[in-house]
Structure 1
Amino acid sequence: MPDPSTPAAPRLRRPSWRDPRLGIGILLVALSVALGSWAVTNAADTVEVYRTTDALSPGDRIDPVDLEVVRVHVPDIDLYLTPDEPVPDDAVAIRAVGPGELVPGSALGTESQVEVRPISLPMSAALEAYLEKGSRVDLWVALPDPDGVGANPVGPAQLLVEGVEVWDIHEDTSLFAGTDQVQVQVLIDVADLPDVLDALSSGAEITVVPLPGQADS
C-alpha cells in the first residue's frame, strides 16, 4: 500500500485544444514559415542593374567600369540598364542621371541624339560653393537699352533660360577676368540656344542664379 504520508506525483495532463499556449505556438510556427517563404520569394525577384556613382550629364560617356552593380526589386527590368546587356562603345548619356540612381535604358544614346550644347559663362566665385556637376541654375539677362543713359546702358533684368544643368566649373583664365570670377559651363537646350547666343553677341550681361536647396560644400 502506498504510504499516505508521501505526496502523490502530479499527473501529466494531455494538452487541450483550448489551451491558449498551443494556439500561440502554432501561430508562431505559421508566421515563421510564411516569413521564410516571403524572404525566398523576394530574393528570387531581385535582379542586377547598373547604378551611377557620380552624376551623368548629357554627352557624358557611359562606361560600365564607372557604374556599380546592385541587386534591386524593380517592377519592369526592361526599363533599366543591366550587366546582361552590352553597352556600346560610343554610348553617351542623352539626359541627366543623378548620383546613386539606377540607369534607365532611355538615358543611353549617341552624341547625335544629345539635344543640349555646352556654353561657358562668367560667374561670381562666391556662388561656386552652392553648385556642382548636375546642379540647376537660371540664367538672367540685362539687354542693352538704346534709350538708357550712361556708358553702358542696359534694360531691366529678365529671365533668359530656366533650370539649365551645370556641366563643369573651372577657373576663369581670361585676361579680363577678375579674381572673384569663375567660368561655369551650362548645358543649353538646342531650342534655347539662339536666344542665349543672341544675348552673348549683343554684349548683354548674363547672370547665373543657382536654384535653392542644392550643394553647399
Structure 2
Amino acid sequence: MSTFSRPRRAFWGDLRFLIGIALVGLSITGVWLIVSSADSATPVLQADRTIVQGETITAADFRVVDVSLGALTDDYLQPQDLESGQVAARTIEKGELVPQTATGTAGDSRSTTLVIESSITIPEGVDTGTVIEVWQAPLLEDGRAHDAPRILVSDAIVSEVIDSEGMLSASRSTIEIVIDRAAVADVLAAISGDAALSVVPVGAGS
C-alpha cells in the first residue's frame, strides 16, 4: 500500500509572505506617523516684514503658520501671546518664526528712534534692519569747515530710509534710526551743533 505525504510549502514562499506582512506594517506605521505629526503642529507667528528693535508689534505684522516644534513649541510666539504694547526686543527678520525672547514691553525697551540727515548719500544696501555706525564731523569754531569724522554711535539700526526730495537729494539722505536712549543726548547735540553726519554699514570696513 502506497502512502502519500503532503508536500511541504517552500521556505521561499513563507519568506515572501512574511516580507509582505512587514511591508504592510511599515506602511501603516508611516501613515500613522504622518497623521500624528500633522496633529501635533502648532500655530506660531512668522514675521511678515522686517521689524526693528523697539518697534511696536501688532497682529498685522505677522502671519500664522502651523509647524511641528516638539519641546520647543513654548519658546515661540503664538497668536494668543500677542498683547497690547508689545515691542520688538531685537530686529526680527522677515520670514522668521518669532521667539518669545524677541519681544518685550515698551517699558522695558532701552531704545528709541531719531531722524537724522546724512551729509552723504546712504550706501547701497542699507535698508530697514541694517546695523550701522553713525559718524559725525563736528563744525569747527570758525563755522566754515568741519573737523575730522569720528564715530558718534557704533551700533544703530535703520528703521526707515526716507526718500529725499529737492535739489540736495542727490548728496543728502534722511534716515530714521533706532539707538540706545543713552546716546540720544549726543546725537541731538551733534545735530544742533551742525555737525556733518554720515552712516556706514557695520562690517563695511569702516
TM-score where L is the length of structure 2:
0.74
The equivalent residue for 1:203 is 194
**Partners of 2:139 and 2:193 within 8 A in 1:** yes
**What runs of 5+ residues in structure 2 fail to find an aligned partner?**
1-6
The equivalent residue for 2:92 is 97
Distance 2:128 2:60 in 1: 20
- 1:9-28 matches, within 5 Å, as 14-16=9-11, 21=16, 24-28=19-23
The equivalent residue for 2:147 is 154
State the shift of 1:18 in Å: 8.2
CA RMSD of aligned residues (A): 3.3
Percent identical among aligned pairs is 28
- Whichever structure has more helix as a proportion of its residues is 2
State the shift of 1:187 in Å: 0.5
Distance 1:18 1:131, change over 3 A: same
Distance 2:144 2:152 in 1: 24
The residue matched to 2:37 in structure 1 has which SS?
helix
Distance 1:46 1:15 in 2: 48
Farther-moved stretch of structure 1 (114-123 vs 192-201): 192-201
The counterpart of 2:176, out of the listed 185, 195, 198, is: 185
The counterpart of 2:74, out of the listed 62, 73, 78, is: 78
Distance 1:150 1:55, change over 3 A: closer
The equivalent residue for 1:63 is 58
The equivalent residue for 1:32 is 27
Distance 2:54 2:66 in 1: 27
State the shift of 1:107 in Å: 3.5
TM-score where L is the length of structure 1:
0.71
**Partners of 2:156 and 2:179 within 8 A in 1:** yes
The residue matched to 2:182 in structure 1 has which SS?
coil
The runs of 4+ residues in structure 1 deviating greater than 4 Å are 17-24
Q: What amino acid maps onto 1:202 in structure 2? A: G
Distance 1:163 1:34 in 2: 53
Q: What amino acid maps onto 2:144 in structure 1? A: A
Distance 1:26 1:132 in 2: 60
